[in-house]
């Protein structure tokens, strides 16, 4: 049994245990469905190419640099 098989088995068990719980409130139901969708892989961001990741990283670094420059005065 590989690590991937063990992980998949654990996720299946977790989904089974989570989905058999009866939710008392609307908020609990919403949270349960949100976790379920994340475990199923729904609403996951699309993979980005290396260039897009680097552009995003550069923008974040610029924001940090600007905020540090502003804080330093």
CA 15 – CA 58 distance, rounded (Å): 38
Contacting residues for 38 by C-beta, under 8 A, at least 6 apart? 44
Better-predicted residue by pLDDT, 43 or 63: 63
User: How many other CB atoms are found less than 10 A from the CB of residue 58?
Assistant: 10
Provide the pLDDT for residue 37. Answer: 83
Dihedral of CA atoms 28, 39, 43, 31 in degrees, nearest 10, equals 10
What tokens does 58 get? 């550069």
* Region 59-72 average pLDDT: 89
Ordered by start, the domain boundaries in the chain are: 3-72
Residue 63 has pLDDT above 90, yes or no: yes
Q: What is the pTM of this model?
A: 0.45
pLDDT tens digits along 2-58: 766 666 677 777 777 877 888 899 998 988 888 888 877 776 677 788 998 899 999
Q: Which residue do the tokens 């996951």 mark?
A: 44
């Amino acid at each position: 049994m590989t690590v991937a098989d063990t992980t998949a088995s654990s996720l299946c068990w977790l989904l089974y245990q989570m989905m058999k719980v009866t939710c008392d409130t609307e908020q609990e139901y919403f949270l349960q469905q949100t976790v379920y969708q994340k475990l199923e892989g729904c609403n996951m961001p699309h993979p980005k190419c290396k260039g897009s990741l680097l552009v995003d990283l550069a923008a974040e670094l610029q924001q940090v640099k600007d905020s540090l420059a502003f804080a330093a005065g």
